[in-house]
Structure formats: C-alpha cells, structure tokens
C-alpha cells in the first residue's frame, strides 16, 4: 500500500497518530520504541520495539478482521505502521479477565492469583492519567455521556468476542491468555463503534503452559524495577517471540 503521512494528530507514550495525506477518513498509527510503566513514571527505549509491536498488533487485527470483528485496521504498510479508519476514541479501557491477576486482586481480596474466572470478568476504566485510570461503572459511563447504553452493550459484546477469539488462538499454541485491555472508537466516517488503538504485547498477560513464571508480556518489564541493559534485552527477546507467535494467528482455525 502506498501511503503518505500528514500532520501529527496525537502522540501517546508508545505511538504517534498522523493524518493520512489526502484521505480524511483514514489515519496512520506508528509504534514507537518506548516502553513505559506506572503511568509513564518509568520509561525506557528498546531500539526496534516499535517494529516488533507493530507486527504484533497487525497480526492481531488481521486475525480479528478475518473473524468478523469490526476493527479500525485497514493495512500495515510496514512493520511499525498501520493504516486505520480514522476514529474518535472513547476514553475507556476495557479489560477482560479469564484468570485473577494484577489490579483485580487488589479490588477483590478474596480472589486468589491464578484462579479461573468463569464467565470472563469485564471491567471499564476511565482513561484519566491524573486519576490513575479509575474503575468506572456502566451507569456512570452513561451518566457522564461517555457512551450511550447501546454502545456500552456493543462494547461488552465485542470485548467478549475479541477475548474469546484471542484466547482460542493462544490456546492453540499452549499459551493462556490471562487478561486483555482493549479500546474502542467511533469512525469519523459513520460513527460506527470499532475496536481501535493497538493490541500488542503491552495489552495482555500471557502465561505459556498456564505458568506465570514463563510470562512473555510487558509484566516482565513492570516487575523489573531496576532494569538494566540485560533486562531490556530479555524483554525485547520476549516481544520478538510474541511477534513470531502471533504471526500464526491468521491461520488459526476457530470452531
């Protein structure tokens, strides 16, 4: 795909969003080499991470598009770049959990880490750095006019579908998808709700063979508080492994 970036629209901790020159309905997302934790308090550079994350997110979106999920993904003209349908983002993080871990344990002290959640648990968090992305209830989302009741329902259904598809794709490689964070947007062209942003190795917890000790995701970086060059190299190797593994998703057969 031939494409030309236009003006910078937005810059996040790990990506930049540009206009697509000559096409107001589309945009360009470029992954950066940064890795951050604790609301950006910790930040490191892993040269090449942008390309690795870009490959992962393109693999995930191609797989989801193939299975009928409405996403913003159009194409990935190179490793670090996606062309997407331009969206107005809904300022929510939607987290789906199969296994009790992370912040769920703090909010649910009776839960044991590693416990299976059946059915999956769905949570909404308001994207608000100053308030450390607090949990938000569905009635508050509607009251604050962040999304309508029907959009909340649509997000719940899509989030479950996305999780179950990715859970199955990972299962076929003997990896347990513990939890996943996704974001939604409304297309500027028609206001349609679609899965947007990126889904990469920063977005989930994945435990090969169901073993937390073997985790390959960003949690390795979060846990390594005094990370050195060797630690960053290990994190990069994990991200490369995940990019390779997700390349197989598109051929995954879903029953």
Residues that bind ligand C5P (CB under 6 A): 93, 95, 102-104, 133, 179-181, 202-205, 218
Judged by beta carbon, residue 148 or residue 173, the one nearer ligand C5P is: 173
Judged by beta carbon, residue 151 or residue 217, the one nearer ligand C5P is: 217
Q: How far apart are CA 143 and CA 67, in angstroms?
A: 33
Q: How far apart are CA 193 and CA 145, in angstroms?
A: 15
Write down the least CB distance from residue 195 to ligand C5P, Å.
14
> Which residue number has the CB closest to ligand C5P?
102
Write down the least CB distance from residue 242 to ligand C5P, Å.
13
Structure tokens at 67: 């299975």
Write down the least CB distance from residue 106 to ligand C5P, Å.
8
Q: How far apart are CA 255 and CA 139, in angstroms?
A: 35
Judged by beta carbon, residue 23 or residue 34, the one nearer ligand C5P is: 34
Write down the least CB distance from residue 222 to ligand C5P, Å.
8
Alpha helices in 20-171 (DSSP H): 49-66, 103-107, 138-143, 149-171
Judged by beta carbon, residue 84 or residue 95, the one nearer ligand C5P is: 95
Write down the least CB distance from residue 1 to ligand C5P, Å.
28
Q: How far apart are CA 14 and CA 202, in angstroms?
A: 10
Judged by beta carbon, residue 109 or residue 190, the one nearer ligand C5P is: 109
Tokens 């059915």 found at: 119
**Nearest by Cα to 81 from 33, 29, 34, 46:** 29
Judged by beta carbon, residue 75 or residue 224, the one nearer ligand C5P is: 224
Determine whether 22 is exposed, middle or buried from the number of CB atoms within 10 Å of its CB (0-12, 13-18, 19+).
Answer: exposed
Q: Tell me how many degrees the CA angle 165-170-172 measures, rounded to the nearest 5.
A: 100
Write down the least CB distance from residue 90 to ligand C5P, Å.
15
């Amino acid at each position: 795909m031939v494409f030309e970036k236009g003006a910078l629209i937005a810059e996040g901790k790990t990506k930049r969003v540009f206009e697509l020159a000559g096409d107001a309905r589309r945009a360009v997302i470029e992954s950066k080499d940064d890795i951050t934790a604790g609301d950006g308090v910790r930040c490191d550079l892993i040269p090449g991470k942008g390309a690795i994350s870009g490959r992962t997110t393109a693999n995930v979106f191609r797989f989801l598009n193939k299975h009928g999920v409405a996403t913003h993904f159009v194409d990935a003209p190179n490793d670090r770049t996606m062309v997407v349908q331009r969206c107005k983002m809904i300022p929510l993080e939607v987290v789906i959990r199969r296994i009790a871990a992370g912040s769920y344990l703090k909010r649910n002290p009776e839960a044991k880490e590693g416990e299976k959640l059946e059915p999956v648990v769905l949570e909404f968090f308001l994207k608000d750095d100053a308030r450390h992305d607090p949990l938000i209830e569905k009635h508050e989302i509607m009251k604050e006019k962040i999304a309508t009741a029907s959009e909340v329902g649509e997000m719940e259904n899509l989030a479950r579908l996305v999780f179950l598809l990715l859970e199955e794709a990972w299962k076929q490689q003997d990896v347990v998808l513990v939890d996943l964070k996704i974001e939604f947007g409304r297309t500027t062209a028609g206001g349609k709700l679609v899965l947007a942003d990126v889904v990469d190795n920063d977005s989930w917890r994945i435990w090969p063979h169901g073993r937390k000790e073997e985790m390959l995701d960003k949690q390795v970086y979060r846990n390594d508080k005094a990370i050195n060059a060797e630690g960053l190299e290990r994190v990069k190797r994990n991200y490369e492994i995940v990019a390779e593994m997700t390349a197989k998703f598109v051929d995954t057969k879903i029953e």
